[in-house]
Amino acid sequence: MSTIETIIIILLLVLILGFTWALTEIYALKKSLKDKPQANDSETLKLRLQAYERLSLLTERISFHHLISNVPNAGLSSREMQGALIDSIKQEYEYNVSQQIYVLPDIWRAVNNLKEQNIYIINQLASSLPPNASGMDLSKQIIDFTIRNPKATLSNLVLDAINYEAQKLM
């Protein structure tokens, strides 16, 4: 046997030993990961349920009924009220934006669409008012809109979707 053949055989043995070692390490890692999830899954489940809870609160807080009752309109013009309502929506949304990593992408899109739709409706209703309208006029306009078009807002639909997904986790 020549020196080159001996070196090739030694290299093949080293490669086979290295490959065998790597496989045993991978199997050991897989086994340890399979043993860990019980603790991890319960913590992840808790975080996901809390995220759905927070998004339910966000959905409630940016619903028109809640916005109108929580944003004081005394002495505000319709433009000031419009700004206050939109600011309230944006603040609530920004406060909860981190929850998107714990929920399904479809749920997050639904929450985002709700935010965008509510801002759009507020802007449309505010633009339909005369320039000298009061904040109370805008509030009445929004309430009238929700009464006349109960299915035009996404709040209930988004809440139902959030509740459905949270129930699936429990």
Say if residue 55 is in the same domain as residue 101: yes
**Residue 131 φ/ψ, nearest 5 degrees:** -60, -30
pLDDT at 34: 65
Say if residue 30 is in the same domain as residue 96: no
Q: Which residues pair with 134 in a beta bridge?
A: 77
Say if residue 96 is in the same domain as residue 160: yes
Say if residue 7 is in the same domain as residue 67: no
Structure tokens at 65: 């009924």
Question: Which residues have C-beta within 8 Å of that of residue 55, sequence separation ≥ 6?
Answer: 96, 99, 103, 107, 111, 162
Answer whether residue 37 shows pLDDT above 50.
Answer: no
Q: Within 10 A of 95 (CB to CB), how many other CB atoms are there?
A: 13
Say if residue 66 is in the same domain as residue 29: no
Say if residue 52 is in the same domain as residue 82: yes
Tell whether pTM > 0.85: no
pLDDT tens, 52-72? 999 999 999 999 999 999 988
pLDDT tens, 97-155? 999 999 999 999 999 999 999 999 999 999 999 999 999 999 999 999 999 988 878 89
User: Domain span at residue 99?
Assistant: 40-169
